[in-house]
Amino acid sequence: MEKLNRLGPGIFLDLKFHDIPNTVEGAVTSALHIPGVQFLDVHALGGLEMMRVAAKARDEAAARGSAVPKLLAITILTSMDNKALRGVGIGGPASKRVVQLARMAQEAGMDGVVASPQEVRAIRRACGKSARPFQSDECLDWSAEFQINFCNRVREIVPAARATRPEFPVMLDKF
């Protein structure tokens, strides 16, 4: 990780933590000590309490004076459509589940969410005007983030226009 940090603009530690709250708290606490990490993520499907303890670990590190990464919650993977969600026992349209998870992430104290561009308007309506979209390849503008992601995305559109640093960002996962 130290070599990666020296190579460039920062690290998105895309580990998508999803486990019992105690385990995620420990994982986040450990990840906070890795130099150069600008973003760290958890799966929102891990639930409110899991996200709360992740945010608590981040906040405690910040209170000790540590530089901390932005903590993002993955909503519904963009490779999953409604049929795939039903196949794993999640009912209803993906767009509704994404909004539900975004609200929960905001309540838990996450810095933002990762979602398909299709859900941006609905997330902004649900989470307030401070929820502004930014694209992952635009994060260099405010966080020196760089992510390479190889995945099949089925819920995708041409992303919205460039946005400024938001208070509660919606990360558009659009590779």
DSSP states of 17-46: E-S-HHHHHHHHHHHTTSTTEEEEEEEGGG
CATH label of the domain that carries residue 124: 3.20.20.70
Structure tokens given for 137: 């390849």
Catalytic residue chosen out of the listed positions 16, 70, 83, 129 = 16
Q: pLDDT tens digits, residue range 118-151?
A: 888 888 888 886 665 554 444 333 332 322 233 3
Number of domains observed in the structure of the chain: 1
Beta carbons of 131 and 122 less than 8 angstroms apart: no
pTM: 0.77
Domain residues for the domain of 148 are 2-172
Give SS3 for 10. coil
Sheet holding 112-115, edge to edge: 11-17, 37-43, 70-74, 112-115, 170-172, 133-135
Q: Going by DSSP bridges, is the β-strand pair 70-74/133-135 parallel, antiparallel, or unpaired? A: unpaired
Contacts of 105 (CB under 8 A, 6+ apart): 44, 51, 73, 75, 112, 113
Q: What is the pLDDT of residues 24-59, one digit of tens each?
A: 999 999 999 888 888 899 999 999 999 999 999 999
* Residue 16 annotated to the active site: yes
